[in-house]
Amino acid sequence: MREQFSSAERSTFYDIVESRRDVRAFRPDPVPDDVLLRIVNAAHHAPSVGFMQPWNFIVIQDSATRAAIKAVFVRENDRAAAKYTGDRAALYGSLKLEGIEEAPINLCVTCDRDRSGPHVLGRNTIIDTDLFSTCCAIQNLWLAARAEGVGVGWVSILNNDDLRRILEIPPNVVPVSYLCLGYAQEFLDEPELQRRGWATRLPLNELLFSNRWGNRLALPWSDQTLSGNRPTG
């Protein structure tokens, strides 16, 4: 096992992290099986509490299944849109928030809460660490996909009961994410919601505390200097 990586490798990793985007518009080109396997294998190498590896990955390519899930999205999106008014409502209505039927691959990542039995090392107090572990797998998957030039979009405007019914997921298994995968029409220079004026990235120096909540951590840099402090090869 390597203990260190070169400056060029580290710089590439940070480039991948910062250029990851939530992709909604996909090209129709299929994702080769070997590429998909590498991406899912990266997810499978995520950390997990008690090494319980609670995840499963449901690869969805059937058009009828995707149409049923798209119908759930439309219903839930209409409900979400009703919460906004005025300019915010207009902006929300103009956002593309899924690529369920356009993306070559849909992927549902689940968490089997019974895996490894009733007593999992490290999970006795904070029970939801199995869900947190599954989120680590999703992040691994997302970064691996970006490294492969594959876009990922997380469709969060869905109902888990409907996903269970459509995908025949057992009651003890939680659908954690529904992802669209495919080659992106474009990787934007900045997140779509920031580009469209919905939200902006919070300054990191406002989010770092020292020892206690609210006690700002004094650092000799600002957010503006971070990009210039990359390792170079």
What are the tens digits of pLDDT across the range 16-70? 999 999 999 999 999 999 999 999 999 999 999 999 999 999 999 999 999 999 9
| Tokens of residue 145, six digits | 């996909």
pLDDT at 50: 97
Residue ranges of domains in the chain:
7-202
Residue 9 and residue 230 in contact, taking contact as beta carbons nearer than 8 Å: no
| Tokens of residue 56, six digits | 């499963």
Question: Considering the domain 7-202 in this protein, what is its CATH number?
Answer: 3.40.109.10
Query: pLDDT tens digits, residue range 57-78?
Result: 999 999 999 999 999 999 999 9
Residue 227 has pLDDT above 70, yes or no: no
pLDDT at 218: 84
Q: Where are the beta strands (DSSP E) in 41-196?
A: 55-60, 105-112, 151-154, 173-182
- To which H or E segment does residue 17 belong? helix 7-19
CA separation for the pair 146, 159 (Å, rounded)? 27
Rounded mean pLDDT of 221-228? 61
Residue 233 has pLDDT above 70, yes or no: no
Query: pLDDT tens digits, residue range 131-146?
Result: 999 999 999 999 999 9
pLDDT bucket at 226, cuts 50 / 70 / 90 = low
Residue 72 and residue 60 in contact, taking contact as beta carbons nearer than 8 Å: no
pTM beyond 0.75: the answer is: yes
Query: pLDDT tens digits, residue range 174-192?
Result: 999 999 999 999 999 999 9
b (16+ CB within 10 A) / e for 136-158: bbbebbbbbbbbbebbbbbbebb
